Structure 1
């Protein structure tokens, strides 16, 4: 009998892309696979050979949240109104769509990204009356632990275990008070679909209800939790070769191999305001004995500020070739991009404070793979100092290589599907 999987993703490229890697592996093994996501990703899904199911317009909103710098939420606002607008508001229509899809064609397993709250409608059912559910951790793990500060604060664990747990307990009480709005709105949604309410739990703990917590990183890049859920497993980043490789620009082969190469990018989402990271980096490094490779994440290169003599730019670059010769990555901290860099042993200077970037930045700091600038708008002086520090201290690159080695042997999509098939077999 052919197994059936439904993958549910919020409409953002950093969410859809990793789930498509899993979808391809399921499809390769003969599964019936469908993906539910936003209309902008129809072509991306279909090009992967996966049938596309559209979210209703009321749930197809994530790409529009924060479009324009004046709308982007930062700090605690990212968790309160930011999470409400991005993930809680579309949850009810997403849940209704999921229920309707499964009513017409049931699935053996539903895989969902960590922000697809519509899946909570399944937890209104008895476990024997719903599909297996798999959370796909496309960002830093957010469930509560006595060993970690509440998600969203960007606070790393303390070295002393007892002090760390005491501090985290205090922060947990404070966070629930400060983040009361998002807890209230999420509880209203959960009650509305018949799912168990939070009952005093931290809002991110609703995510741990899935049968398998599949984190798309390696344990070496995540905080250690002595009380981690038993169903948490690490599979490494979901990466695959590009279908259409990016050609290298003419200047790429003319780079001087004797000079350190610094790559700076703001990714493909938060890339509309170059004054955040790219511009201060260009200014910071203009008179240093380095070369700078800039990518715009798809925007026209002529939208960049005037480049200094040691800087070169392209909309996209052949990333594996680029990172193989990169000495430092300067970034605002997209989860996928960080893992791509560490896969190549590249140390990082990170400047991010929007979306989930405060948490990715904290993990770069904790894993000692780079320098956390603790802001999304660093000064040129701060960038210059951080890049010089990373270039002068080989431990950052050594730690990045260590994590890269763990990524290289991670089970990946194949291991995840192995585990899903084993869990389904155990239910028979």
Structure 2
């Protein structure tokens, strides 16, 4: 049997303080009693520190992790930022409606004002940097990624705004909500996000709140009138919503992988180029017929500045939270648009809007009370066993210590002990499903 030599003592009493005994003491136990006072003091201090740490950990057990200070701060910070973003979206909606009332139909031109402001502010900041963070170096290394993302973002904005010409408000509201489940699925697939039961309940509550809002529109008859080609309009809106979902998930990845200034500068640069070419091809005749008075210019300015603030804050929200939380928190934009519509467009009052607002806020709080978790790189991505068993998307859906490299591993039901946040420790049977190997 090979024995490992004990490390050399760092000083008098060093072994005792670290849990080791010199060889002489092992042969003669009475030497332990004759240890130096400094050794005894070191051992006593180490024991006291260990006891204090254990007591501190025991007292620090939080039986209600959803209500600790960090969760509360994160939740209300996300909700507050979401309301600011909703007000910005409300500003874009109101200005677009005012332009529509004036007979101005130029969605690409409206988007161009936003991308130009982003390019002017953040590309200027990037041009002042040197080395790997310089503007030219970023374009050479990963400019193609931002070009693809900018194209998706520009076309998503264009399709949703253009859909209002062919379908009605209710259809747009319903189809626009398809962004949320799409973001949830894409985040699970590509960002390796784990969703717990509280997240699923929060998403369902937010969608319920939007359903109440749409119902209120239908009762008042505001959202069911209009639309020359509902099939085309619904297709444009659905396509725009799906592109929004892809854009949001890509934004979350890039913002967390690099930094906000880089993302905003690149999206502004390529977005202004794409939207500028698009408006020159599709909207040059419409723009030539516009009466460029002070009111029209003001509406374009309100739209551009609102979108500029929105994009600037979105990058921060994505960095601190997630793409799904962003979409949930901004669902209240329809409520603020309703408040402005009462004064500007003479909308009739309906108390269901307030009910919808409260339900969406409760759903957003429910979602953000507990942070989402990220699957480890060597942990298999599995089909959630909650499809077959009792627990919905909790930690017990995953097992640690298995590699996804090499094969597709679908094994029979195997027994394992899991810690479920709802049911405690339990022995259950699970289906293991590993990723496909790309080797």
TM-score, with structure 2 as normaliser: 0.22
Report 1 or 2 for greater relative contact order, CA contacts < 8 Å, sequence distance ≥ 6: 2
Structure with higher Rg: it is: 2
Considering fraction of residues, name the structure with more helix. 2
Considering fraction of residues, name the structure with more strand. 1
TM-score, with structure 1 as normaliser: 0.22
